[in-house]
Amino acid sequence: MLDAKFMRENQDLVRQALENRHANWNLDLFNELDEKRRMFISQEESLQAKRNAASKQIGALMGQGKRDEAEAAKEEVRKINEQLDEISKQRDEADGALRDLMLRIPNIPDASVPVGADENDNPEIRRWGIPREFDFEYKAHWDLGPELGIMDFERGTKLAGSRFYLLGGAGARLERALINFMADTHGKRGYKEWWCPALANANTLTGTAQLPKFEEDLFKTTDGLYLIPTAEVQLTNIHSGEVLDASQLPLKYCAFTPCFRSEAGAAGRDTRGIIRVHQFSKVEMVKITTPETGFDELEGMVADAENILQLLGLPYRVICLCTGDMGFSSAKTYDLEVWLPCYQGYKEISSCSCCTDFQARRANIKYKDPDKFKGTRYVYTLNGSGLAVGRTMAAIVENYQQADGTIKVPDVLVPYMGGMTVIGKQD
């Protein structure tokens, strides 16, 4: 959530930034609600001052034996309280309307973010690895996986519906191997691992901005809880409503969770295989840091995600998302895209974002640094996939397939696969 004072004092900047994001917002409504709210606050303060003065007068009049005058002052206080109740009610209504409006306004892009219309305007930053040239007819993971008996799309659909799948035998083991490998690797780079609930309440999802704007993308239970779309939701909100000490920062967290997305806005996209599904595994990274170090920490987070791909030997590229392709909470985002032979192109496997104080303001996460400033400041929050496990599996199946129809296990995963070096046909 943006700061109302900042929006009030920088309306041209905010207007241009949101135009660059192709985001609509009602400036007139913001000004109206903001002015109403401040007017009611001013009226409240004036009435409270009158009430306090009248209350003090009552005590003095009673001490002087002026009972009739004291009773008149009491009646004045009663009337002031009635006025205060009405003004407070109006202020609460204006507060609620203003907050609802602001919860639906996206973050301001950082000045370093390229201005663009959509994904076609995302500049490439760098590439790593060379896509493999096959000397045999390679197969897509949605064909090779079922042939080997490690993926089953038909039975997954039978059990739960479209965009669900089963993993069997070495496929199930490869999923666990990737999760453990990713979590262990991030742990060695300073991330504290957490085991999180797969359900979250509305306040938690509001803190990271999935609610209220993106409720249609979430699965909701009958008792008002939601299945989480990413561990970012839980990891960021661990410290909601808290004031941290500067000496604790940066905090670096990671967690494996199942993730659930309705993909309401993705009809017809990537319908084959395990690229875009309703349930998937992901190891997520989150950082909580100071404003001064936020964007440096973003570069470090991208390097941590790249490290996983490099250890797995998977070719990838890094792009910077332009203003028209950024996520709602982000001030700057890098996407990592892995090479997938079935697409003859690169496909997103990680998205790393600095959200500045946008989420911290919603979740009320602050820190104090007595040596540098008085009071408290909002932290900066960052999140990134480290990595999406299903997409990583798809990339391994396709990039490591062999002419005899088997799949070579990447060297770093062999210990996690119990010494298995090749995945062949499963019974």
- Residues 26 and 126 grouped into a single domain: no
- Residues 357 and 267 grouped into a single domain: yes
- Residues 147 and 76 grouped into a single domain: no
pLDDT score for 65: 66
**Quick one: what percent of the chain has pLDDT higher than 90?**
85
For the chain, percent helix, then strand, then coil, each to nearest 5? Answer: 45, 20, 35
Instruction: Express each pLDDT in 237-283 by its tens digit.
Output: 999 999 999 999 999 999 999 999 997 655 566 778 999 999 999 99
Instruction: Give the CATH number for residue 392.
Output: 3.30.930.10
What's the CA gap between 381 and 367, in Å, rounded?
12
Domain presence at residue 231: yes
Instruction: Express each pLDDT in 177-206 by its tens digit.
Output: 999 999 999 999 999 999 999 999 999 999
50-64, 87-101, 123-137, 337-351: range with lowest mean pLDDT: 50-64
Q: Is 0.95 topped by the overall pTM?
A: no
Is the pLDDT assigned to residue 426 strictly greater than 90?
Answer: no
Residue 87, domain extent: 4-103
* Helix (H) or strand (E) run with residue 225 in it: none
Is the pLDDT assigned to residue 150 strictly greater than 80?
Answer: yes
What's the CA gap between 315 and 134, in Å, rounded?
14
- Residues 224 and 298 grouped into a single domain: yes
HSE-up of residue 73 (Cα within 13 Å, Cβ side): 18
- Residues 358 and 288 grouped into a single domain: yes
pLDDT score for 411: 98
C-alpha of 35 from chain center: 31
Domain presence at residue 112: no
What's the CA gap between 325 and 22, in Å, rounded?
9
pLDDT score for 204: 98
Last residue of a domain, one of 71, 103, 135: 103
Average pLDDT, the chain: 94
Residues whose CB is less than 8 angstroms from the CB of residue 153 and which lie 6 or more positions away in sequence, other chains included: 142, 146, 165, 166, 273
Domain presence at residue 114: no
Domain presence at residue 108: no
What's the CA gap between 71 and 321, in Å, rounded?
68
Last residue of a domain, one of 70, 103, 136: 103
Domain presence at residue 360: yes
CB-CB contact of 91 with 41 (8 Å): yes
Instruction: Express each pLDDT in 296-310 by its tens digit.
Output: 999 999 999 999 999
Domain presence at residue 110: no
pLDDT score for 51: 79
Is the pLDDT assigned to residue 427 strictly greater than 90?
Answer: no
> Active-site positions?
261, 276, 348, 351, 391
User: What pLDDT band is residue 32 in, cutting at 50, 70 and 90?
Assistant: very high
Please state, as a whole number, how many other Cβ atoms lie within 10 Å of the Cβ of residue 216.
9
- Residues 145 and 95 grouped into a single domain: no
Residues whose CB is less than 8 angstroms from the CB of residue 373 and which lie 6 or more positions away in sequence, other chains included: none
Using DSSP, state whether 354 is helix, strand or coil.
strand
Q: Considering only CA atoms, which of 358, 356, 406, 379 is closest in space to residue 1?
A: 358
- Residues 79 and 225 grouped into a single domain: no
Q: At what angle do helices 170-188 and 141-148 cross, to 10 degrees?
A: 120
- Residues 43 and 123 grouped into a single domain: no
- Residues 304 and 183 grouped into a single domain: yes
Last residue of a domain, one of 43, 77, 103: 103
Instruction: Express each pLDDT in 62-98 by its tens digit.
Output: 667 666 777 677 778 788 888 889 999 999 999 999 9
5-9, 137-141, 271-275: range with lowest mean pLDDT: 271-275
> Which stretches of 149-228 are DSSP H helices?
153-160, 170-188, 202-207
**Count of domains forming the chain:** 2
